[in-house]
Amino acid sequence: MERKFWVVVPAAGSARRMGGAVPKQYLPLAGRTVIEWSLGPFLAHERAAGIVVALANQDQRWSQTALAGDARIATTIGGAERMDSVLAGLRALQDRVAADDWVLVHDAARPCLSSADLNHLLTELSQDAVGGLLAAPVVDTLKRADGGDRVAETVPRDKLWRALTPQMFRRDILQRALEGALSRGVAVTDEAQAVEALGLQPKLVAGDADNIKITLPEDLLRAERILKSRSAA
């Protein structure tokens, strides 16, 4: 019997880079909000045991989504940084999730995760001792800038990957990693970075580069094209 997994979604972020008052996870996208698309693949998966969404303290928009009444989704209050929100989600789960159960962390503003990529991640990591993450190999030429925005050097792209989500780790490993980062005052930018600090090496699982994160206004247009092309296929 295949083991079930749990999902934590940090959704306490603001709309700073989108230039508006509405947090990006609540922006309309192809007939739904961004976060509804982001949670969709998990809600449709037979092995998903439950989801915890970490919200901002003053969030008044979650209750207006179609997801708010779903019994499979719990909410908790997140924090100022991503890792604070993920930790809040893990702590909300710890009384009902075993130490070695899988927890997947997914960005609230990453609406184009495909069911194929989710299944690929689950299959690749099912017996892995560490866990890992969806990632896409870097295909562009990379430049490092100097203080004046001039090219200081060209960075070899061999073996470089862009980290995506979900990122998938055992509950105990992930919680220890994030609590350790918090105690050291290190603001990690993703869960894999925290796990690496334990001396472990998360596995990179090749995922579709279309699994984009909504960061800038033009990302919404690209996400809409991606989602519409899938529905038309």
Measure the CA dihedral 193/82/138/218, to 10°.
180
pLDDT value of residue 232: 78
Tens digits of per-residue pLDDT, 105-158? 999 999 999 999 999 999 999 999 999 999 999 999 999 999 999 999 999 999
- Give the percent of the chain with pLDDT over 70: 96
pLDDT at 49 over 60: yes
Domain spans in the chain, listed from the N-terminal domain onward: 5-232
Tokens coding 105: 């962390």
Tens digits of per-residue pLDDT, 188-216? 999 999 999 999 999 999 999 999 999 99
Give, for 190, the enclosing helix (H) or strand (E).
none
Cis amide prior to 166 (ω within 30 degrees): yes
Measure the CA dihedral 185/190/193/195, to 10°.
90
pLDDT value of residue 89: 98
pLDDT at 186 over 90: yes
pLDDT value of residue 195: 98
pLDDT value of residue 140: 95
Tens digits of per-residue pLDDT, 81-101? 999 999 999 999 999 999 999
Considering the four listed CATH numbers 3.30.2130.10, 3.30.300.130, 3.90.550.10, 3.90.1150.10, the one that applies to the domain covering 5-232 is 3.90.550.10
pLDDT at 17 over 80: no
Burial of 109 by CB count in 10 Å (0-12 exposed, 13-18 middle, 19+ buried)?
A: buried
pLDDT value of residue 9: 98
* Beta strands 28-29 and 5-11, pairing class: unpaired
C-alpha–C-alpha distance, residues 82 and 12, integer Å: 8
pLDDT at 3 over 90: no
> What single letter denotes the amino acid at residue 81?
E
Average pLDDT over residues 2-16: 86
pLDDT value of residue 19: 57
Tens digits of per-residue pLDDT, 54-79? 999 999 999 999 999 999 999 999 99
